[in-house]
Structure 1
Amino acid sequence: MKLFNNLEDYSSKSKTFITIGTFDGVHIGHQKVLSKLINSSGKKNAKSLLLTFFPHPRMVLQKDINIKLINTIEERIELLEKTGLENLVVYKFNKEFAKLSALDFVRNILVNTLNVSRLVIGYDHHFGKNREGNFEQLEDYGHTYSFDVKEISQKDIDNIAVSSTKIRIAIENGEIEKANNYLGYNFMLTGQVVKGKSLGKKIGFPTANLFIKEDYKLIPKTGAYVVKSTIEDKTVFGMMNIGYRPTVSGKNQTIEINFFNLNKDLYNKNLRVEVLHFLRDEKKFDSIEALKTQLKVDKENSENHINSLNLN
């Protein structure tokens, strides 16, 4: 997959089949749209291209600093590459772009810059300034500028019954299996291992403390989870705690992973953790010893869950 961070960098003499959207989560619905795009472009000897946006338009237009995204932009790019998409344009969304009329968007960007031959859009798609453009307008523009428009039907979208919003809510509620089913892969957290207080090591449960620099990344609800990671090409399972460590009067939220059967120094290493299952809510224990007892139970429950998975 070729990645372009500027519209002007994309150049192709071949006609281009395009779809548009933020595609946060790259979930099974997105995957279906991309599959149709890629298959149809291949049959017509055209290039496939996704025009996506970052930052999220709501962050720019509504100053919505509270919106959290399922993927960091790096995670999204990696997921899109796995779909077989040929070209990805990540457009830096800004207020000037939002002011483009529907006509200017089609003529200046889709036609003159990206050489659109077919546009694939979701049901009830709107675009341009104040979302003024719709499917009927696109069809009219298509006749004028010689491209066709394919709309993913309402029936197809309803049959999938999934959206980025539904997935975000599931993750926020700790409904990890539901979220993973909607995503078609395991929800992930990506960050750097940093120094912690070393309390886990002192009580027999050493942890890797994960720092995620992207403040827009969605973090699951506080509590304990079963996780897995790939470390030096080896799959390693463990349990993760997200929370404020109330037993030791913690002030800031931390993400701590205790890997099973792993004895490696992970400090300063980049780590990706796949979240598999929610174990329990975070709680304050009466003593460190009571916390240690609970961690033993968590580990047993984690191992039982891991053993129940079909790993073949």
Structure 2
Amino acid sequence: MKTNTINTKQKSPSIITIGTFDGVHIGHQKIIKRLVETGRNKDLKSIVLTFFPHPRMVLQPDFDIKLLHSIDERQEVLSQFGLDELVIKKFTKDFANLSAQDYVKNILVDELNAKHIIIGYDHHFGKNRTANIDDLKIFGKQYGFTVEEISAQDIEDVAVSSTKIRQSLLDGDVETANSFLGYPYFISGKVIKGKGIGKTLNFPTANIDVKETYKLIPKDGVYVVKSSIDNKYVFGMMNIGKNPTFKGDKQSIEVHFFDLDQNLYDKTLKIEILYRLRGEHKFESVDLLKEQLQNDKLNALKRISNYNE
């Protein structure tokens, strides 16, 4: 899959779907598979048109939006579905002020060479989002493209899935979130130096720095995770929280990998979250915390032994 973030005109006629596709969950995947399959049948280049930053970040900067994916993560997941191209359009106030006709003509037709558009029945576009799918069909007759409507049921499935995934992660229920995603929820970040507390507990950790402040981090607690390091999957357990036993006041993300003795500083890791073991607790002593960590490890290893790739 090619990724295009600049205004280059498509020579090949294309089939397009448009949206944020945050999470690229099972509802989104159904639409994307339909796009790719229809594109192959009609000999059209399959394109997902998405926007970044998220429109709310630009139009409502005080709104504390949390997304399931960074734009790089979205690109990584979308690359697995056989798309020909992902077009990332920079969302700006000027872009938001484009009239519906200018948006259709300048971007969908002139830039992307759209011949077929698959879009939700409730899709709105153009300045103040005043144009709808009926307007798009009229523009289609004017500019030579057809419009295929995604049903109310499919759109409802997408909306319900997104809401349930976000809420499940905020509740710490990663298994429900993963069932709606169709793959394990993950976070990506660079390994940075921490306070070295894990080492003193005989559980050395990689401290993960997630640079995107808009990335949704699951509820504080201890999780079973896996990560691909040097092309090999390694399992471990991750703590999200403030280390209350040590009177911490800042949230950190720390991963202890099993059977790994390697310097990971400055590596960028993708941490896939499989299960939640427990919430974060303040222990009365360091010894009690050590005892709990040993129990966590045993519980994690039991979960891993039953985990199917």
Bin for the TM-score computed over the shorter chain: over 0.9
2:193 is matched with which residue? 195
The code of the aligned residue for 1:128 comes to G
1:173 is matched with which residue? 171
- How far is 1:82 from its partner? 1.0
- How far is 1:105 from its partner? 1.1
Q: What's the C-alpha RMSD, in Å, of the aligned pairs?
A: 1.4
Report the TM-score, using the length of structure 2 for normalisation: 0.96
- Asked if structure 2 preserves the Cα contact closer than 8 Å seen for 1:223 and 1:278, the reply is yes
Cα distance in 2 for residues equivalent to 1:94 and 1:263: 46
Change (3 A) 1:21 1:279: same
Cα distance in 2 for residues equivalent to 1:5 and 1:156: 28
Secondary structure of the corresponding residue to residue 290 of structure 2: helix
- How far is 1:306 from its partner? 1.1
- How far is 1:159 from its partner? 5.5
1:133 is matched with which residue? 131
Spell out the pairing of 1:275-290 with structure 2 (5 A cutoff): 275-290=273-288
C-alpha distance after superposition, 1:111-156 (max 9, x if no partner): 1221110111123111111111111111111111111000111133
The code of the aligned residue for 1:262 comes to L
1:38 is matched with which residue? 36
Cα distance in 2 for residues equivalent to 1:58 and 1:160: 19
- Asked if structure 2 preserves the Cα contact closer than 8 Å seen for 1:162 and 1:182, the reply is no
Spell out the pairing of 1:1-312 with structure 2 (5 A cutoff): 1-6=1-6, 8-12=7-11, 14-158=12-156, 162-311=160-309
- Asked if structure 2 preserves the Cα contact closer than 8 Å seen for 1:239 and 1:259, the reply is yes
- How far is 1:166 from its partner? 2.4
**Any gaps of 5 or more consecutive residues in structure 2?**
none
- Asked if structure 1 preserves the Cα contact closer than 8 Å seen for 2:27 and 2:157, the reply is no
- Asked if structure 2 preserves the Cα contact closer than 8 Å seen for 1:4 and 1:10, the reply is no
The code of the aligned residue for 2:109 comes to V
- How far is 1:164 from its partner? 2.3
How many aligned residue pairs are there? 309
The code of the aligned residue for 2:272 comes to E
- Asked if structure 2 preserves the Cα contact closer than 8 Å seen for 1:68 and 1:216, the reply is yes
Cα distance in 1 for residues equivalent to 2:159 and 2:131: 25
Change (3 A) 1:40 1:131: same
Report the TM-score, using the length of structure 1 for normalisation: 0.95
- How far is 1:85 from its partner? 0.6
C-alpha distance after superposition, 1:200-253 (max 9, x if no partner): 111111111111111111111111101011111211111100000010011211
Cα distance in 1 for residues equivalent to 2:209 and 2:73: 16
Secondary structure of the corresponding residue to residue 81 of structure 2: coil
Change (3 A) 1:234 1:81: same
- Asked if structure 1 preserves the Cα contact closer than 8 Å seen for 2:8 and 2:111, the reply is no
Change (3 A) 1:9 1:161: closer
Cα distance in 1 for residues equivalent to 2:83 and 2:9: 14
The code of the aligned residue for 1:154 comes to A
**Any gaps of 5 or more consecutive residues in structure 1?**
none
Cα distance in 2 for residues equivalent to 1:211 and 1:306: 25
Cα distance in 1 for residues equivalent to 2:155 and 2:176: 18
Cα distance in 1 for residues equivalent to 2:158 and 2:216: 23
- How far is 1:165 from its partner? 2.9
Cα distance in 2 for residues equivalent to 1:238 and 1:141: 53
Change (3 A) 1:142 1:181: same
The code of the aligned residue for 1:23 comes to F
Cα distance in 1 for residues equivalent to 2:32 and 2:247: 47
Change (3 A) 1:45 1:140: same
